[in-house]
Amino acid sequence: YRQDGFLVIKELLTIDECQQLKTAANKLIDGWQPEEDYLWIFPNGGTRERSGARQMIDSSDKISFFIEKDAVDPQT
């Protein structure tokens, strides 16, 4: 992990379990309805950063989407 930034655990899940997880994740993504004032974008400072931190804490008991700042075009 320290060298490559990820960890491989062999045979943690079966192929069927992996497919079930992918299917569930795709359903969540397909059902996601972002709002105009959605603040899950990780900015580089200011009040939006503090707001994002609060939202991250609030997401501890549910599934939430976190969008990196450069991952979306605000014009679309």
Do 68 and 41 touch, CB atoms closer than 8 A? Answer: yes
Kindly report the length of the chain: 76
At a CB cut-off of 8 Å and minimum separation 6, what does 44 contact? 69
**What's the pLDDT band for 11 if we cut at 50, 70, 90?**
very high
How confident is residue 62, by pLDDT bands cut at 50, 70 and 90? confident
Written as one letter, the residue type at 63 is: I
Q: How much is the pLDDT for 36?
A: 45
Q: What is the mean pLDDT of residues 5-22?
A: 95
What's residue 37's pLDDT? 44
Q: How does pLDDT run across 28-45, given as a tens digit for each residue?
A: 989 887 764 455 555 555
Q: How far is CA 41 from CA 3, 27, 29, 30, 45, in A?
A: 28, 21, 16, 19, 11
